[in-house]
A and B are shown apart, each in its own frame.
Chain A
Amino acid sequence: MSPQKFLDALGHLDDQYIQQAAEYNGKRRKFSRMIGTAAAACLVVLVSAAGIRMLPQRDTSPSLSTGEVYDQTESGTSSFHDGYAQTEHTGGVTIPPLDVYLGNDVAADMIAFFLYQGRCYVQYDTLDEDDGLIGEHLGTAIGLIDEWTPEDGYVDLAGSIGGDFYAVNGYDPEFMLCMKSDNGNLQLYICNNGITLQYGSELYEDRLHLSGNIDAVEFESRASWYNSENERYRLTEDCNEIIETFIHQLDAAEFLLSDQIPLEDGVTSIYETEIYHLYFKMQNGMTVHLRLYQNGYVCFDGMLDVAVQIPETEWQMLLDVLENKTAAQRVQVPDPDEVQLEKCLSDPELGGFIPNWSPDGLELNYAAVSYQIDRETGAETGTRQIMLDYDNPEKLNQHCSITISRTDEKGEYGWTGPIIDRDKLNAETIAKYFPASPDENNQELGVCYGNVIVGCWGRNLDAETVLRIFESVPAKAEENQSS
């Protein structure tokens, strides 16, 4: 069957699939249960001048060197709603505030964001570890707009995502904030809109503190990045001078709007001219991710609306290094799934309850550990659940999911299926929950090991297999049972 035919056949899909894909917004799922009827209000929030005007903080809080929060009332421009505006008073370029529509039926522009003190913070990156980056607790984003929201009004703390947010140690909170996820990841949010930038240094030094804080520089080709090949290289110390020169030019260059970069005939977007991804691994664990385009254009991955152009000589020096790879060493990029599995296995509280055995043919599809998070500090104070999800690549209707949680855990992380005690574990009992001729529904059973439940949820698993899974729960569970 040809790809052409496949794409044609997609045209015969039922409307429900198209509708779902057209309207889907991943980051809003979490709040759908909370907002209930409020969602029906379908209010439109314009994160724009209306909001910015309400900000007394702007005049009193320390601001970021030459960049400033965009203020329509001061800019004197009226082209703000039509797109990007060139400000007259700084000579730089202005990225206008996002127009964020909550309740928009199409939701094509929805992204993970929240509003705080007149600025709109948009998700930039996710770190596996917080490495002491979490600073002061600054507030709690509510993650919704409710029916009392005035139309076109600015609502502090509203947005498409919710949760406690914090300053990021070493970074200006006007630029970067963070949220701690239940799974231990640190989500970084940056204010990448409603700002005016003139020189690269306003972003790369004043905000990202690039110079003097780099631990390593890595890169990969566009093809490697696009196809997830992870063919990534680390530059050796021989390249230090070239990198320093590159950063110097990055800082000195003037910003221009990415959509104003001249394109050759037949090229419809700057993305088509992308050639490399450059990663500055910072000493604090953060990564400053740059995208390199043909003809010396460079964008920060968190702010793709603006770019700088590196002079030809310095650009060519860097390109030579990247293309020849003579002063670079291949680095292994850890598989995110393996990182997660390791986190689960080494978890001091529930990791000891992970079954040692999984059925032949089943491959780990997903592993996650969920923590209890202290709201004030963002610290992990305990483990709430471990989840391991297995699929059979050869038998797509065979599935197994293991969840481990405490007996007193309720709600999202608690086990809600049937439970038996460890000493009742035998093939006959399990067969009641995993019958030989299963219907279309999934089967499930939890086994209690003291105050911990190991739950198995699956499809097309026989009782013997499930018994073997439970019997492979390691010795720590046995100790827990006896105590």
Chain B
Amino acid sequence: MTMSRPAAQASPPGSAPFRSPRAGRLPLAAVALCSIGAALAALALPLALGSAVDTLVTRGEIPWPELRLCAALTAAEVLLDAVVALLGGTVTATRTARLRTTLADRLVHAEPRHGQAVAPGDLTTRITANAAEAAAVPVAAATAAATVLVPLGAVVALFLIDLWPAAALLAGAPFLIALLRTLVRRTADASADYQREQSLIAARTTEVLDGIDTVRAARTAAHEHTRITEPLTRLSAHGRLTWQILGRATGASALLLPLLTVLVLGVAGLRMSAGAISVGELLAVSRYTVLAVGLGVLTGALSTISRGRAAARRLDPLLGLSAVPHRSLELPPGGPGRVELRDVDVVRDGKRLLRGVSLTVPGGTSMAVVGRSGSGKSLLAAVAGRLTDPEAGTVTLDGVRLDGVDPVRLREEVTFAFARPALLGTTVGDTIAFGAGRPSGERVRSAARDASADGFIALLPLGYRTPLERAPLSGGECQRLGLARAFARTGRLLILDDATSSLDTVTEHRVQRALARRAGAGTRIVVAHRVSTAADADAVVWLENGMVRATGPHAVLWDDPDYRAVFHAARPTAPTAPGGPGAVGAAGERAAGPVSGSAGSGAAGVGDGVRSMRSGGGERERDPGPVSGRAPTRAYGAPGQADGTATAGPDQGRTAGPLARPSRPGPGREAR
């Protein structure tokens, strides 16, 4: 298979740090120079204008030299400002795009758990808004000097013209500001009330949208609309209050400049009467007063910079992510897919979640991973396919260490399906084809058939070409698309992490049969909660507290009451699950780490009518609740069944042998 390397891979990610200081330095210097130039022109203009007026008043003819100077200064200010806007905007645009692309690159090439340490919403904010804020800092900093220059220069110019108006300004400004502040009575902040009513409307909307099936059936849409928008009257009242408060503050500050100008002009007028300054200078004084008050603009520039700095600090952890390292090793062509874990330790948040796990899955066989919730099943699946790297120990595929293989190459050989797949791409067909080495249309369709997804895809308005956002998918249908995505590639290792939990038993059996037909194609590792899945596998690895309790065929392990108890406990009569469904899902997601195992799920039913959004929509199904606990599994593998499984004896006997490799002596490690 030829591999088309995506362009983004051309420069190895992680090797080029984002902050390349030289790039963009020249335009930034130009921005700084131009903005300073424009500021100087703006500062010189009132003086030039004043002297032109003086010439006019005294001689009564067009003051050509001064006029030319004024025109030149005006032109310089305008053009330099235009250049600053153009260059600054362009530089910021380019930097924003580069920063965002770099962030996306770092994020998707790193081990997923690093990005998942941040909630998706927060992550999105960082890539979009924070990146834009951070990218705006250099230009804001480059123009900051000019922003300071104008008001300071205006004060200096005032002093140059005459001491007294300048003194009046410096003395009057603080006094007036203090006086005006007393006018603005402190009023309780209405914005908190405003936001409370607003979130009430949002919360009611969310509730109604969540229960939209009932609203549709009971025809209560208009009633719900009235109920949701009922807080609007209060919202409006609070909104009016905020305008009132704003009006009071604005009204007071609107007085500052006129009063200050009158004060300064009064002093300047008296000085003019005394013959100390001219008419033109008086005009200049009035203009400089306005410019000097513009010091307030500075706070805006400073807040842009400080906000940008804060944003940049939020980006640092993401920019510091390094891509999953590798040594460009190649897997032996045509290998059977033999997986070997040796002394694997995984530590997350200071906890050892996998401890000294060693096991071998011979090529072409299937291995079920069972254990209670939190025993490390999903983590084991993630390590076996290198979605995450262990802290200690080695994982090999056909004798080659996974951390040596180019990840892009690896993804063509190792495929995953999850309990709650995030569906990417544009259409239903595209989401199945999504990923390394785009499979053909024929392969996509055959994968959908194997995943029992072709049936509901045929019911969609445009079949495979139905856009994802227009496809009404239940949790089980999402799962089947996720399975199809994995099936669409003929890798040598297929890892199913609870990937059939939302399917009803009949459909699951159809998928299992299709999988069995593909058996020769590669090795399968299946995280399972159901007895039937474990019984179908060639061998079972039984995890307990992150350690291998035992390995062997299901039929053999079944004799151990502890092993049977695993399947009873997998469906506990769960305690009350507080917090909204979303909260439960989110918490579970994070706790489950990089592979977001959905321990304790398994909404196996006749139907999976729960609608879900495109990614992670099945969260609600994960909330078993106090009354939803399923009855303890009745003995699927009860004696008779176990015998039935054992009839596959010879084959299993062969594969079971090399499977068990207890690496270290441990209590209750081996139950054979």
A joins B in a complex: no
A-contacting residues of B (Cβ < 8 Å)? none
